[in-house]
Structure 1
Amino acid sequence: MNETFELSTEDFNKQLSKPQESSGRKKNVLSENLRITWKKPTINCEARIRITWLAASNMVRIERVSGTFNHSHLMEENYKPPMIADVIRKEASKLYEDSGVEYLKTKEVTNIKQKLVGPMNLHLVGDANLKPDILNTIKFLIENNYQVESFQKQESLEHLRGLCFANFWQIENLTRYGWLMLMDSTHNTNKHGWHLFTLYIRDSCGCWNVSAHFFVNRENSKAVMSALKIVQKFALQWNPQYMLLDQSSIESNGIALTFPAGCEEIVCDAINICSIQANAKYIARNYLKNSRQWSLWAQQHSPLLLQITSTNPLESYYSELKAKISVQYGFISEYFL
């Protein structure tokens, strides 16, 4: 009968969790005297692994401890080469004497990791040519139950192209909560240099969520207008009332071209149907020429609108997104989904 002897078995907490609290700053220290530091965001990972050395076969077995969680994050993102090298040095020195592991360099670990991780991300690179990459992107999105539409048009000397996409739940949220929205763009998300725009809505739980994306090859008002009109086709009952932007005339002009019917049209309708001439003149004098002031008044008297003064929630989303994508990739990867 074959017997397996377990010479050494140890359990390890994953390096992503923090078993101890971080030390806090000293009290009564002026803010200008504090050192600026960067802290990696904590990942609440409770996974545990068991490492067993099987003496009979002189092999090491690594397995997940029963009852603990599976991984729900990217291994290649969180395990940095210095961390990997440090763990290898500690564990190898325990198991083997004179292994020479102390001579292991972080650069060597980096090279090995790149060889392993590179092929894993190869599917994200996409086609080098623009047209096949767009076609592959559309196919990928449709297979993942997205509504997607591309456009191209000639405006003066500029050739405008774009790609819009949103799934069923995003369109439903856009219809229900799209009266209040953040919109902003970012760059360096794909190899083709197209700008990524995102529409961000605030749901009934007070959480910010993506309601639609679109890429454009030129960041100008006509391109933004063309993309927003496609999003309108996705969500026919979408009726935006407040759209918060950064100081971008391109975005504001694109919105004005897409939604020309605003409070001015409502005021004009009120004037036209008013049967009393004096009242019609009063409405024209006090409402028609100062719609901006009425808009500011509505914002200042809304507790919700007073809480939203910037596009920071969308900027935070872009920061998380760009930590996972690369300018070497094509348009779409699973990080968008």
Structure 2
Amino acid sequence: MTSTLIPIPQNAEFWCDRLFHLTAPVVLTGEEFDTYWPLVSTVYTKLNGSKIQRNGEVTVQRYECRLRKSKKGGKPPPPKDPGSVKKRYGTTVRQPGLCQVRIKVTRTIEMPITVTVERLDAEEHLHDLARSREIAPSVLAIQVAAAEALKGYQPAQVMNTLKGVGTPQGSERLIAIGGAHMTRKHVQNAVARRVHRVDDRIPLNRATTLRQEIDDAISFLGEKGWLHEEFTVLDAEGAPRWGLCFAHPTRIQALKRRGYFTQFDSTNKTTTWGHNVFSFLVRNEQGIWIPGTHCVVEGENPEILALAMKTFKKWCGWEPRYVLTGEDSAVEQLAVRRAFPGPEGGEQAVEHLLCSVHTMRTLDTRFKSAADKQILNALRKALYALTRNRCLDLCREAIYLAQDEVTKNIIRTSWLDTTRKWAMYARSHSPLLQQIMSTNGVDTWHRELEARAGLGNVDATIHGIKDMILDIMQQAECRDSTAQKALNDFRVNGYFIGNCEYPEVGLFPRPVQKLLRPEVDGVMDRIVQGKEAPVFDQDLTCHCKFSRQYLLPCRHIFHLDSRTKVLTKDRWQTYVALFADRGFEVYETMGHALPPVESEERPEVESVRARSSLRLRQLRERLTQQLHAVHDMMEANHVVEAERRETVDNWMGLVHKVVEPLADVLPEDIVRHNGRPWEL
């Protein structure tokens, strides 16, 4: 009987020895890896999360030997009363640093799946495989025990059965798969992890089962007229994962209209069952972030998240072009790739971008030591570099500054190879991408949701699934009220009239007026600081951050206009026409008319060509204004037509007498005489 309960993979001993020692990189198919890795996986523990590298072709997970134990354990909480003594359990703490082996597992994303297991350095195990299995039994042994326990047997009965009721044959097979030191406690913990989540469990603080709560939540969504769909998928380890998608019929239309750019992220442990809630938000025409759809999932894995996004796509035809998430999560990136396969699946490619704030935090955390300060500065500059070559040069400089090969490889794989996801140069072609560089929209939504649910002050274990859905509904209604108010106020003009010298600003929608206000006020700050009025080409092209983001006049243009009138009526009409019958969605399809500049700061002085063109244009405008002033004065004085014609002809003759000799000079004569044509 034990032989049927404990299947031993073919050549298990050979693969255990090879994957344990790793004298050379081991390349396996996806099926072989899933078969033999559970025999040795407990030898190692994960180092951070998995990363997507090589431009999205592979996922990389790093491990360290369990006896290395680089992670620090948590300290016991202090007693509530100063005089009380908190009882400590009789636990033992393993000594760290007994082995220094580190490895990495590289798995391809596209078919056919291949997995490469190799060392990160030249360190070798200072112990044997039996010592590792003494600390933690193999995953395969745990899976076999859990499968038997789910039949209703007690842990003691499971252990007795797996050992062949005391026969030598049973113990031999259990030892062969790494379960020699497995105890009843291991079986009990395995059952807690592997039990089907949608079952009849009842937590200590609730009187309903998970199945009952799910049924109540689905009924509640149906009563409110919300779209919903429940599903279950198997994760990479074969364990079932549950999920529930839901969306309001009206708000999901916002996802369809404005889904060109979508933010999404999750908030953790919002219910008594430890579920995560993903929210997908889009910015509407008035600049308000609208929660389009939601998904409650059991844990985060790419299979369940990809299925949720496919469901949203089925409901409303959601076709994103850009997706922005917070951290560099392999789960979210894999889910986007599977839900939107791009040209291979006959769809438009979806670019996955990372939040600049989270990227900066990651840099500060990873390179926080004094020895890495120069690396940190180089990568910070690379983050905000406006050209690809500049960004890549700074990343290579950071690699050169790294003192060890491990750090060099981290910078090369996690930063140099993935610049299109986190660097600003990859967003310089679109004003929209430069406006929305962080996940503030979805982060604010989650903070409001947690505040409404009281999860910041009250334990989430009293919060059920229906309670969480009700919180989402109520908070979404508050967001709808905000959006309606923004819609009513969007076309309210006159916000600036009486407050500045530019009444044309009052022609813009109110949110745009609020954007322009600091730029107008910033002119006085520049004058106080003693800055000269900048000069531009005839298109008034400025490369400051505000101009790149919104394609509107910035404080530098307003400063120049305070000296020389460059914001003419025609130019204002061009700016106002952007929002004539549209809102912020105008930036979704608008490209950048400006080429990216190499300098990281906006140059205060433009080229000689631009300066000379500006001076000539100023002179022409002065002459034109003078001519119009002459006509206005003669009309006011009721000068007869013949006298008016004579006056204008005399003035124009004087202009021609001065200008025509200069216009007749050949360019080579001007260059030869050092630009002094009057000496010709």
TM-score of the aligned structures, taking structure 2 as reference length? 0.26
Query: Which residue, 430, 434, 440 being the options, matches 1:306?
Result: 434
Tell me by how many angstroms 1:157 deviates.
Answer: 2.3
Give the drift of 1:227.
1.2
Which of 217, 220, 227 is the aligned partner of 2:308? 227
Number of positions where the alignment pairs a residue of Structure 1 with one of Structure 2: 191
> Is contact 2:289–2:441 with CA below 8 Å preserved after alignment?
yes
What secondary structure is seen at the aligned counterpart in 2 of 1:254?
helix
Do residues 165 (structure 1) and 301 (structure 2) align? no
Residue 212 of structure 1 is matched in structure 2 by: 293
Matching residue of 1:152: 232
User: Whole-Å Cα distance in 2 between the matches of residues 135 and 320 of structure 1?
Assistant: 26
In the alignment, is residue 332 of structure 1 matched against residue 332 of structure 2?
Answer: no
**Distance between the aligned counterparts of 2:420 and 2:270, measured in 1?**
38
Q: CA offsets per residue over residues 68-87 of structure 1, 9 Å max, x none? A: xxxxxxxxxxxxxxxxxxxx
- Secondary structure class of the residue paired with 1:324: helix
Quick check: which has more Rg, 1 or 2? 2
Q: Aligned pair 1:182/2:316, yes or no?
A: no
Q: Which residue is 2:336 aligned to?
A: 255
Deviations 1:181-239, CA, capped at 9 Å, x for gaps: 0010111211111111000100011110100000110211111111111112221x211
In structure 2, runs of 5+ residues without a counterpart are: 1-204, 350-416, 474-680
Q: CA deviation at 1:313?
A: 1.6
Pairing 1:64-213 to 2, within 5 Å after superposition: 128-155=208-235, 156-213=237-294
Residue 319 of structure 2 is aligned to residue 239 of structure 1? yes
Shift of 1:335: 2.0
- How far residue 292 of structure 1 moved from its aligned partner, in angstroms, is 8.2
| Identity of matched residues, % | 29
Answering whether residue 402 of structure 2 is matched by residue 322 of structure 1, we say: no
Distance 1:168 1:255 in 2: 23
Matched letter for residue 318 of structure 1: H
Matched residue SS, 2:214: helix
Distance of 1:136 and 1:203 partners within structure 2: 32
Q: Which has the higher strand share?
A: 1
- Offset at residue 293 of structure 1 (A): 5.7
Between the aligned partners of 1:143 and 1:176, the Cα distance in structure 2 is 26
User: Which amino acid counterpart does residue 205 of structure 1 have in structure 2?
Assistant: Q
- Check the 8 A contact 1:162/1:216 in 2, yes or no: yes
Whichever structure has more helix as a proportion of its residues is 2
CA distance in 2, matches of 1:291, 1:313: 24
In the alignment, the residues of structure 2 paired with residue 216 and residue 227 of structure 1 have an alpha-carbon distance, to the nearest angstrom, of 9
Q: Secondary structure at the match of 1:240?
A: coil
Q: Check the 8 A contact 1:126/1:329 in 2, yes or no.
A: no
SS at match of 1:332: helix
Q: Residues 311 and 293 from structure 1, CA distance in 2 versus in 1: closer, same or farther, beyond 3 angstroms?
A: closer
Alpha-carbon RMSD across the aligned residues, in angstroms, is 2.9
Where do 4+ consecutive residues of structure 1 move more than 6 Å? Answer: 263-268, 294-298
Distance (whole Å) between structure 2 residues aligned to residue 314 and residue 227 of structure 1: 18
8 Å CA contact 1:127–1:133 kept in 2: the answer is no
Counterpart residue type for residue 256 of structure 1:
R
Structure 1 residues 127 and 244: alpha-carbon distance in aligned structure 2, compared to 1, 3 A threshold: farther
Secondary structure, in 3 states, of the residue corresponding to 2:287? Answer: coil
CA distance change for structure 1 residues 261 and 197 in 2, over 3 Å: closer, same or farther? same
CA deviations on 1:142-175 (whole Å, 9 max, x unpaired) are 1111000010122342211100000111111111
* Cα separation, partners in 2 of 1:157 and 1:301, compared to 1, 3 Å: same
Change (3 A) 1:336 1:264: closer
Are 2:216 and 2:466, in contact at CA under 8 Å, matched by a contact in 1? no
